[in-house]
Amino acid sequence: MPSTYEPIATTTASGSSGTVSFTSIPQTYTDLVLVMQVGYTSGSHYAVVRANGDADANANYGNTYVAGDGSSALSGRNGGLSGFYSSFALLGNTTLNFISTMQIFNYTNTTTFKSSLTRANLASSGVEAVVACRRTDTNAITSLEIKATSSAVYASGSIFSLYGIKAA
């Protein structure tokens, strides 16, 4: 049986950009796992994970989340999004305490819309799980761009790691 949980690439932010890209993602795995520990140089923001160069106009993502904020549980959903969100109830802030693990399933198949499951935590705010679907097309995912909302900049030390899991 193959070794199957392998690192593909890692990027560490220098504090000057709000965009991280993984391009030419190998098509040899079954699922992708994107692990992030993120902060911003100012303000509170989301990290939006866009596939295959999707832009704001590609508003064909939706998500449903459940979260706990320390005092209550909540759920919501959103349509017309431009990417998989690393969270939706939790906003990352200037600390590096926001962590997110996103599973992107069967990213190389060309017959289904692509879905993701994410668990996110922000120690100061709460925990969250998100399911999301990209309905733009059924193309295989070959690139991912993790873009901070509102032109924010990732704080130095923010880290983004992409892994591949290969099924037998």
Of residues 91, 69, 88, the one with CA closest to residue 77: 88
Shortest distance (Å) from residue 21 CB to another protein: 24
Shortest distance (Å) from residue 111 CB to another protein: 5
Residue 53: Cβ within 10 Å count: 12
Q: Which of residues 128-147 bind another protein (CB under 8 A)?
A: 129-133, 135, 138
| 71 sits near another protein (criterion: CB under 8 A) | no
Burial tier of 80 (Cβ tally within 10 Å: 0-12, 13-18, 19+): exposed
Residue 150: strand, helix, or coil? helix
| 46 sits near another protein (criterion: CB under 8 A) | no
Shortest distance (Å) from residue 85 CB to another protein: 11
| 59 sits near another protein (criterion: CB under 8 A) | no
Q: Identify whether the C-beta of residue 102 lies closer than 8 Å to the C-beta of residue 49.
A: yes
Shortest distance (Å) from residue 99 CB to another protein: 15
Q: Which of 17, 21, 52, 106 binds another protein (CB under 8 A)?
A: 106
How far is residue 149's CA from residue 151's CA, in Å, rounded to a whole number? 5
| 56 sits near another protein (criterion: CB under 8 A) | no
